[in-house]
Amino acid sequence: MSKKTVAIFVVHPFGAVLGKDSMAELRTMANENKLDIWEDCAQCYSGSGYTGSSFANASFFSFGPIKTATALGGGLAVLRSPCNKDDNGTTSHEQELERVSTLASTMRRIQETKHKQQPNNVYLWRVVKCIALHMISQSRYLCAQRK
């Protein structure tokens, strides 16, 4: 950790979600160093199974073509005022909620200006590409398959 560190970034690979106790420990460490916890949930979305840790400031989910739950693209961010954040008395719950709300507005503005909703034809093209890739991956002539 250095003076430039702003967050602890937790990745949950292959659906293996870090346990609650470990997240709580990280939260304590983050509080001591005034850091956020961001978690990468790109590989662990399973419907209502895991919706992010209450100890994280932000949880990011991805719905790309190779993810556990796919929409052939896109993602979402869950922003929250995490548990224990005000344990050290430096940040009140209200201040934290205001910070989350400001961050959410900024993200919404970026989405509206830089990453607008994609037109249907762009999404249709993505669907066609994914079907083609799926067919190639299933082809016995193009890909080696087990007997």
Cβ neighbours of residue 20 closer than 8 Å, sequence gap 6 or more: 53, 55
Q: CB under 6 A: which stretch of 40-48, 117-125, 128-136, 138-146 binds ligand PLP?
A: 40-48
40/137 Cα distance (integer angstroms): 27
- Is residue 42 involved in binding ligand PLP (CB under 6 A)? yes
Select 9 or 83, whichever has its Cβ closest to ligand PLP. Answer: 9
Binding residue for ligand PLP (CB under 6 A) from 75, 86, 91, 103? 75
Burial of 31 (0-12, 13-18, 19+ CB in 10 A): buried
Task: State yes or no: residue 43 binds ligand PLP (CB under 6 A).
Answer: yes
Quick one: 47 or 89, whose CB is closer to ligand PLP?
Answer: 47
Cα 126 vs. chain centroid, distance in angstroms?
22
Number of residues that bind ligand PLP (CB under 6 A): 8
Please classify residue 21 by burial: count the beta carbons closer than 10 Å to its beta carbon, then call 0-12 exposed, 13-18 middle and 19+ buried: exposed
11 binds ligand PLP (CB under 6 A): yes
Q: By CB under 6 A, is residue 40 in contact with ligand PLP?
A: yes
Please give the residue whose beta carbon sits closest to ligand PLP in the complex. 62
DSSP 47: T
Chain residues binding ligand PLP by CB under 6 A are: 11, 13, 40, 42-43, 62, 64, 75
